[in-house]
Amino acid sequence: MNTALDDGSLRQLFSGARTYNGFIDKPVADDQLQAIWDLAKWGPTAMNGLPMRLLFVKSAAAKEKLRPALAEGNLAKTLAAPATVIVATDFEFYGRLPRLFPAFAGARDLFAGNGALAEATASRNATLQGGYLILAIRAVGLDAGPMSGFDNAKVDAAFFAGTKVRSNFLVNVGYGDAGKVHPRGPRPDFSEDCRIL
Amino acid sequence: MNTALDDGSLRQLFSGARTYNGFIDKPVADDQLQAIWDLAKWGPTAMNGLPMRLLFVKSAAAKEKLRPALAEGNLAKTLAAPATVIVATDFEFYGRLPRLFPAFAGARDLFAGNGALAEATASRNATLQGGYLILAIRAVGLDAGPMSGFDNAKVDAAFFAGTKVRSNFLVNVGYGDAGKVHPRGPRPDFSEDCRIL
């Protein structure tokens, strides 16, 4: 049986973590990005479908490819971030189910024959994985700056043309600059957003 | 600057965590459910919109209300779980933005005037919060059994009639019975699902 994580870990993941709009001048190594995946990949998805795909945009050339899609308010901070993750969804995730979920032989056909179910399942589970990703970034000791302020169609055309992969959101990654956070927004009490029945 | 969490914490959250299909006979106290929310609420959402709503179904009467919506394979384990969380989405989340995101006075009207944007933002961010929730359950020392196998429309009619709140997925919560897990599904390598550009 587990017990609660120590207070420092809970602060790092949740109560003390912030969305960073800038990072100190310290690079993020490729093996740190791999470590993030090697945690996030364990998060649960329906039928182990794992529909999330990640592009870690680090090079100047790849940042330039991303630039035209960025909202003006997100431009400078994203170009300056050590890495920007394009969090995306593979809407043909079900093609891998014979390998990823061998317990149910009919899994692939279930989704292949039901576009609405495939789309809802891909969206829900890739976004759940996006939540695991943000916390995995924090768990390895890095900081995250997630964003929705960009042109999804432009990202898709630049990075995912000819595939069924579509962008979901972006996350800047690095060592957060404590001077580059906005005032923290209030959170509702338990009784406002939750009920026990 | 943070460092990585210790190995035990990483195992508890990610690499050693499992989806539980049964729980030992040990209740979950209401203050543990509140502790879960008091962590998960800190996860980032667009414009601090916090669209997720949670119903913690604990009582026999509330479990009976949930019963007709459950897929057969999820029925017994859900009725037996110490608590079942109905993870839901408030598609009118934007009504609270003047309070939750005072920095942008036009936030509410932006969504009120654009139904597609409001729906996409509610879905994406409530589901991200669902990811934070699953990891918060593990962080407080409990175990999670998330599920999509239920009739969303029946849950919505039984629990959310007359509102703009709609069910997203379910999570059984308790102290996991190690004998009630399926064999673990394989996870793709970094190079299969991720690229560094």
ipTM for this prediction: 0.98
> Rounded CA gap, B180 and B174, in Å?
12
Residue B1: pLDDT band with limits 50, 70, 90: confident
Residues 148-187 of B with CB under 8 A from A: 148, 168-169, 175, 182-183, 185-187
Q: Which residue of B has its CA nearest to A125?
A: B127
> Rounded CA gap, A77 and A133, in Å?
20
Task: Calculate Rg over the CA atoms of chain A.
Answer: 18
A169: which DSSP letter? E
C-alpha dihedral, A86 to A114 to A93 to B73, nearest 10°: 110
**Cβ within 8 Å, pair B41-A187:** yes
Q: Which residue of A has its CA nearest to B54?
A: A194
Token pair listed for A167: 């962008």
Residues 119-148 of A with CB under 8 A from B: 121, 123-124, 127-132, 134-136, 138-144, 146, 148
Q: What average pLDDT score do residues B53-65 get?
A: 98
**Cβ within 8 Å, pair A56-B195:** yes
Burial of B110 (0-12, 13-18, 19+ CB in 10 A): middle
**Cβ within 8 Å, pair B2-A12:** yes
Residue B89: pLDDT band with limits 50, 70, 90: very high
A81-138 pLDDT per residue, tens: 999 999 999 999 999 999 999 999 999 999 999 999 999 999 999 999 999 999 999 9
Alpha carbons within 13 A on the beta-carbon side of B7: 0
Q: Tell me the shortest Cα–Cα distance from A97 to chain B, in angstroms.
A: 10
pTM of the predicted model over 0.90: yes
**Cβ within 8 Å, pair B127-A123:** yes
A14-49 pLDDT per residue, tens: 999 999 999 999 999 999 999 999 999 999 999 999
List B160's β-bridge partners, or say none.
Answer: none
**Cβ within 8 Å, pair A148-B35:** no
CB under 8 Å to A48, separation ≥6 — which residues?
Answer: A97, A100, A101, B185, B186
Q: Is B191 on the interface with A (CB under 8 A)?
A: no
**Cβ within 8 Å, pair A39-B15:** yes
What is the per-residue burial (b if ≥16 Cβ within 10 Å, else e) of B114-141? eeeebeebbbbbbbbbbbbbbbbbbbbe
**Cβ within 8 Å, pair A186-B100:** yes
B142-191 pLDDT per residue, tens: 999 999 999 999 999 999 999 999 999 999 999 999 999 999 999 999 99
Query: Does the pLDDT at position A1 exceed 90?
Result: no
Residues 66-95 of A with CB under 8 A from B: none
